[in-house]
Amino acid sequence: MNTVDQRELPSDARVLEADRPSSKYIDIPASQALRLDCDQRLGPFRIAYETYGELNAAKSNAILVCHALTGDQYVASKNPVTGKPGWWETMIGEGKPIDTNRFFVICPNILGGCLGSTGPASINPETGKAWGLGFPVITIGDMVDAQVRLIDHLGIEQLFCVAGGSMGGMQVLEWAARYKERVFCAMPIATAAWHSSQNIAFHEVGRQAVMADPDWCQGRYQEFGKTPRNGLAVARMAAHITYLSEEALHRKFGRSLQDLSAKSFSFNADFQVESYLRHQGSTFVDRFDANSYLYITRAMDYFDLAAEHGDVLANAFKGTKTRFCVVSFTSDWLYPTRESRDIVQALNAVAANVSFVEIESDKGHDAFLLDEPELFATVTGFLNAAAAKRGLTPAKGKR
Amino acid sequence: MLAPNAFRQHRVDHLLIAQMVAPGSRVLDVGCGDGALLQLLADTKEVDGRGIEVSRERVNACVARGLSVIQGDADRDLDDYPDGAFDYAILSLTIQATRQPKAVLEQLLRIGRRAIVSFPNFGHWRVRSQLLLTGRMPVNEHLPDSWYVSPNAHLCTIKDFVDLCRVVDARVERAVAFNSWGRQLGTWIPLTAHNMLGEKAVFMLARK
């Protein structure tokens, strides 16, 4: 770690967290290097993670929560960079649907992320500089393989549940496909078994915006003490639109003007929706690394669970004993219900134990992160039934 | 095990189906509604149960109570399942609401080693007399909706169903009819009498 040259780096919290996470972490030695899907080896590497609740003696009550594109390990505790509450605190905590009185929740920062797990913003031990574009292109499968090292380290043979939304859901599916025996039940939420052409297209817009920013410096901005703020902010603005729905945008903003009584006849943020998006863009830049954004969006684009299994999605789940609960939202046009149905269809084709719930919401893709009582009821019911099958006792103080 | 007052809590056809199903078997309930039958089978027979239900609200309620249920349609989604995936494929009071009862029954016999079908008997004397005397489509507690809002697209009599079993080459392993008081009719009664006195019927079928 003495290779970090502070003079070349902006000393903000985000950059510090990339190499010195305030969460727990494990360093995987080179002897346990990952064989990545691109055929390169990666190791040593670090996985930063948080845990909530207690692992029982039988190590049978662990729930792995996989985060989405711009998520992190702070799923149910304060994010050290933004100071904001955990991103799924509505779902996870004492007495919540994923009840930490009963379950041991593990949330790792993904491989390629920028809050402590090894990624392009981390220092490459071989060069002493940030990996930048020298970081290998990773896949969802690689992220999962890296998480397996963490689960091994924690001595957990079988996870009680793997859960996650959006890209987190992709990891859930990959876990269920690659490590069938190690997943008792799985909750892929608002996700798909492959990234659609439209989704790849949106990601490409985002990446091009980052790379068009002169401060990106061909990916070497950290060396020059710069940040491609504008490019990354535009990428986030475009992506943010895809997380909402037309109805939600209209309800929230309509055509209302921002602190104005009349149009300004300029290119200022006249409309509330513009001002909102600009705010989303600029706060995102403060907490996320631009190269990380490139790598993770790429990993999502490459995700195609059917292609990994001879173009037949059902093959990915052949012989599975895992209990599945697939969830989609009516107004999610980024990962529409149709794509969840494809997953359900494949699971039915192997007669897997599957529940599928489509939840009515006008909040778009982001609904999975929001206060959706029907989602909470689904998760609670599914986990309770699965826990009974697994022989887990109810939470303390509740019968 | 069933509580003594189970007869008041559960539908008679559900109780009979629960008798027919072997413990620990794999069961698919097509059109599982609020999940009452699946719950009964889970509680009394410890089955590995799955359900399909067309109404999103009911599906969500089923999953919230811990049942493995998906939103789907008997006419469209049975195709997905492999042959012989279940010990029993059940269609309880649902066949009359499908668009293609014959195709659905064939699917049930393909997916399940046995198919169990219950349906309201349109040949029951009260139905016949309502039609005869009022000249209108019968409406009663088992057929509560007027014809223009009823989901029941293909009502049939017990005799009609026996004919269908012949058409799809199914062997009838058991057939039971219930009278208006929920009592099983004696097996010694001829088919014509079942068709007249039975308000609901439950058939267990297998491929020939």
What domains sit in chain B, N to C, each tagged with a CATH number?
A: 6-207 (3.40.50.150)
Q: Which residues contact A333 (CB under 8 A, 6 or more apart)?
A: A242, A245, A364, A365
Do residues A241 and A183 share a domain?
Answer: no
Last residue of a domain, one of A297, A318, A349: A297
List, for residues A48-63, the tens digit of each pLDDT value.
999 999 999 999 999 9
What is the pLDDT, as a whole number, of residue A320? Answer: 97
Length of chain B: 208
Q: Which tokens belong to B84?
A: 């012989």
Work out the burial of residue A115: count CB atoms within 10 Å of its CB; fewer than 13 is exposed, 13-18 middle, 19 or more buried: buried
Work out the burial of residue A193: count CB atoms within 10 Å of its CB; fewer than 13 is exposed, 13-18 middle, 19 or more buried: buried
Q: Is A395 a member of any domain? A: no
| Mean residue pLDDT across chain A | 94
Q: Among A353, A356, A374, whose Cβ lies nearest the Cβ of B71?
A: A356
ipTM of the complex: 0.89
Name the 3-class secondary structure at B112. strand
Do residues A121 and A167 share a domain?
Answer: yes
Do residues A271 and A373 share a domain?
Answer: no
**Mean pLDDT value across residues A159-177:** 98
**Could A358 and B64 be called an inter-chain contact, meaning their C-beta atoms sit closer than 8 Å?**
no
Name the 3-class secondary structure at B75. helix
Residue of A209, A208, A213, A202 whose CA lies nearest to A240:
A202
The DSSP symbol for A96 reads S
Q: Is A397 a member of any domain? A: no
Residues of chain B contacting residue A320, judged by C-beta atoms under 8 Å apart: none
What is the pLDDT, as a whole number, of residue A3? Answer: 39
Contact A98, A382 (CB under 8 A): no
List, for residues A186-234, the tens digit of each pLDDT value.
999 999 999 999 999 999 999 999 999 999 999 999 999 999 999 999 9
**Could A378 and B64 be called an inter-chain contact, meaning their C-beta atoms sit closer than 8 Å?**
yes
What is the pLDDT, as a whole number, of residue A394? Answer: 78
Q: Is A11 a member of any domain? A: yes
Q: What is the mean pLDDT of each run of 10 residues along chain B (208 residues)?
A: 61 94 97 96 96 93 94 93 97 94 97 97 95 92 89 95 97 94 88 94 95
Residues of chain A contacting residue B78, judged by C-beta atoms under 8 Å apart: none
Q: What are phi and psi of B119, to 5 degrees?
A: -155, 155
pTM as predicted: 0.93
Residues of chain A contacting residue B82, judged by C-beta atoms under 8 Å apart: 349-351
Name the 3-class secondary structure at B39. helix
Last residue of a domain, one of A262, A297, A332: A297
**If pLDDT is split at 50, 70 and 90, which confidence band does A359 have?**
very high
Does the annotation mark A240 as catalytic? no
Does the annotation mark A365 as catalytic? yes
Q: Is A284 a member of any domain? A: yes
Does the annotation mark A153 as catalytic? no
Do residues A15 and A150 share a domain?
Answer: yes
List, for residues A294-346, the tens digit of each pLDDT value.
999 999 999 999 999 999 999 999 999 999 999 999 999 999 999 999 999 99
Domain that includes residue A19, residue range: 6-195+307-390
Q: Is A396 a member of any domain? A: no
Last residue of a domain, one of A278, A297, A316: A297
Do residues A14 and A78 share a domain?
Answer: yes
Provide the domain count of chain A. Answer: 2
Residue of B124, B74, B146 whose CA lies nearest to B104:
B74
d(CA A180, CA B188): 52
Active-site entry in A60, A166, A355, A361: A166
CATH number for A54: 3.40.50.1820
List, for residues A277-300, the tens digit of each pLDDT value.
999 999 999 999 999 999 999 999
**Could A378 and B59 be called an inter-chain contact, meaning their C-beta atoms sit closer than 8 Å?**
no
What is the pLDDT, as a whole number, of residue B6? Answer: 56
- Residue A273 has a CB neighbour count (10 Å cut-off) of 19
Residue of A311, A110, A88 whose CA lies nearest to A193:
A311
